[in-house]
Amino acid sequence: MIKKNIVLSLSLVMLILSSCSIGGRPEIVVSNVTIIPSGMMKGVASSFMQIINNGSGSDRLTGCTIKEYPSARGELHDFKDGRMTKVEEVIIPAHETTELMRGSLHIMFFEIPEKIKGTVTLILNFEKSGPIEVRAETALRK
Ligand SMILES: [Cu+2]
């Protein structure tokens, strides 16, 4: 009976330990945020940035909006087999920097009501960290 109890409590400890390592807290820092209006399509812009996760748990980017233009629609895009495709989420692994850049993962906005310039505020929605506001500098397409 005693032996059985020890085994039971040991497995409980292991369960708690393993759930900690999976469910640790993410610590998100976002830098180098740019938003680039499309030269060809009206009301469309792409956004690039670095999302740094200094925490011990992963997070997911699930969406993005522009504070100044709430009606604009933000989509998460990736490239698969050389073609741009919409994705539902971007996984942000712990202890890693996730790069959103041209030709790879990026955010794209549609139906922006006017030509954007200067800086705008993006609201990035994370599953665990919640909404994070970042300033995005408008850049011209190089
Ligand atoms: Cu895109």
Q: What spacing in Å lies between the alpha carbon of 65 and ligand 1's midpoint?
A: 15
* Helix runs in the chain, H state only: 2-22
Residue pLDDT tens, the chain, 142 long: 556 665 556 565 555 444 444 579 999 999 999 999 999 999 999 999 999 999 999 999 999 999 999 999 999 999 999 999 999 999 999 999 999 999 999 999 999 999 998 999 999 999 999 999 999 999 887 6
Q: What spacing in Å lies between the alpha carbon of 49 and ligand 1's midpoint?
A: 14
Q: What spacing in Å lies between the alpha carbon of 13 and ligand 1's midpoint?
A: 45
Q: List domains and CATH numbers for the chain.
A: 24-138 (2.60.40.1890)
| pLDDT (0 to 100) of residue 140 | 81
Q: What spacing in Å lies between the alpha carbon of 46 and ligand 1's midpoint?
A: 7
Q: What is the SS3 assignment for 9?
A: helix
120 bridge partner residues? 136
Q: What spacing in Å lies between the alpha carbon of 101 and ligand 1's midpoint?
A: 10
Name the pTM for this structure. 0.82
Q: How many residues does the chain have?
A: 142
Query: Running DSSP on this structure, what letter comes out for residue 69?
Result: B
Query: Running DSSP on this structure, what letter comes out for residue 5?
Result: H
Query: Running DSSP on this structure, what letter comes out for residue 43?
Result: T
Structure tokens at 129: 């960290």
| pLDDT (0 to 100) of residue 65 | 98
Q: What spacing in Å lies between the alpha carbon of 112 and ligand 1's midpoint?
A: 14
Q: Which residues sit with Cβ closer than 5 angstroms to ligand 1, an ion? A: 77, 84, 108
Closest CA to 137 of 76, 48, 72: 48
CB of 61 within 8 A of CB of 125?
Answer: yes
Q: What spacing in Å lies between the alpha carbon of 78 and ligand 1's midpoint?
A: 7
CB of 46 within 8 A of CB of 84?
Answer: no
CB of 31 within 8 A of CB of 137?
Answer: no
